[in-house]
Amino acid sequence: MKTAVEELTPTRVKLTIEVPFEELKPSLDKAYKELAKQVRLKGFRPGKAPAALIDQYVGRGAVLQEAVNDALPGLYGKAVEEKELFVLGQPDVEVTKLDDGKEFEFTAEVDVRPSFEVPEYEGLPVTVDDATVTEEEVEETLGNLRDRFATLTPAERPAAEKDNVTIDLSAAIDGEEVEDAATKGYSYEVGAEGAIEGLNEAIVGLAAGESKTFSSTLVAGSRKGEAADVTVTVSKVQNKELPEADDEFAQLASEFDTIDELKDDVRKRLARQKSMNQVGQARDKALEALLEKVEIPLPDSVVANEIARRNEQLEQQLSYAGLSREDYLTEEEKTAEEFEAEIDDAARKAVKGGFILDQLALQEELGVENEELSEYVVTQAMQMGLPPQQLAQYLTENNQIPALVAEVLRSKALNLIVEHVKISDESGNELDLDALRKEINGESVDLEAETVEQAEEITEEAAASTEETATSDEKTEA
């Protein structure tokens, strides 16, 4: 087999593949066997008709077409591997020559990852937020905890901010009641975000038994998005009383005996959360810093697929929340053009970042062990709230192990970058890279050995079965 590669653009190539006709023999034999099962010829049992009679019955051209369709994927994959191409997506294939018994040639146009080297990143400066915990943050967190233990007492006065009220709601458009916009006995905290526009202002000052009508836009139901006259009736006003932040509250809300011990625990938890945020920021900003040092062309088809994926993900989230794209844009105070530009920019950064991590993994000859696959499955399963065995089984049955290998490789490449950049907080303090490395690699997470082993049993066999094709699969990952 002879393969020639023509560069159409920096991200698209055309392969011209010449195949000696004898290499089609296995596929021709297979085609005759398959067609013999489908035809019924007098004097021959199903599947036993000779090739000459099949040629006569269905035509040699049909046999050749069947053989070519069978052989093309393998021949294309072999050509890609021989030329060490990192192809992206499916190729556009065209058979250019098919002379029975003599020659077979086809072309394949396909997008490829651009050729480049990851530049030096040792000591690349990266700045993350400070991890200092303020007393205001401690008090705010403590206040949220007190709010969970608040008590409600009847208030013989008009409603005010932070009160809990019981209300009935109804709506009318042009004097006609909107049935599915009505609700009764709804418990509501005055001032809560996400309410119907104008509701909070209407409730403030109303006593039990009083009503008020205001104009607003319906946010749900059959008349969603339409202007309506909304009537709110208050049936109960309750005052929210927070418990005192004292030792008694600490004993009620926690395992601590004193409020000082509780505050100290809150302070430690906030500090740990901020440290974890620093880890996430370090990963994101390290890659962003490297992105700025690399200029590479991006295949339009790959960017388009990433944009489509992000739009589909957003639509699913909005559907779950009962919002339309128009609602979302209004909340974000963005035009459709501004939002599309943001999606395009984010998609291009994601594609470019993936290319950089893939190339770095190649340059550094990074690999993936079965144990790493298993730990990744366990971590993902914990985040998804699934048993690790169930997720591992799904990935195996749906042939997702190659994609899993590529994902773990990218994560390892990103970890490598973070290990070598210079990370400081906004106050100029250089962070402890050893501590960061442990957190990034998950060494501080106590995964149960038995759970890991159970997931490993499922992924090990699948990973081993894909070991020979892993390199090829990694090259074809977008």
Give residue limits of the domains in the chain. 2-112, 151-241, 270-475
pLDDT in the model for residue 447 = 44
pLDDT in the model for residue 80 = 93
Mean pLDDT of the chain: 85
pLDDT in the model for residue 363 = 92
pLDDT in the model for residue 427 = 92
Look at the domain 151-241 and name its fold.
Chitinase A; domain 3 (3.10.50)
Top CATH class, 2-112: alpha beta
* pLDDT means over runs of 10, the chain (478 residues): 92 93 86 70 58 69 85 92 90 90 90 91 92 94 93 92 93 91 91 84 94 90 87 94 94 94 94 86 91 93 94 90 83 91 95 94 91 87 86 85 89 91 91 64 48 52 48 42
Q: Which of 295, 299, 262 is CA-nearest to residue 86?
A: 299
pLDDT in the model for residue 330 = 85
Name 103's bridge partners.
20, 99
Under 8 Å between Cβ of 396 and 462: yes
Percent over 70 (pLDDT), the chain: 86
Alpha-carbon gap, residue 209 to 157, rounded angstroms: 11
The pLDDT tens digits for 41-98 are 555 555 566 666 666 667 787 888 888 888 999 999 999 999 989 899 899 999 999 8
Under 8 Å between Cβ of 100 and 28: no
Q: Indicate the helix (H) or strand (E) that contains 95.
A: strand 87-99
State the residue for tokens 């007492």: 153
Return the CATH architecture of domain 270-475. Orthogonal Bundle (1.10)
Q: Which of 18, 29, 4, 30 is CA-nearest to residue 103?
A: 18
pLDDT in the model for residue 38 = 65
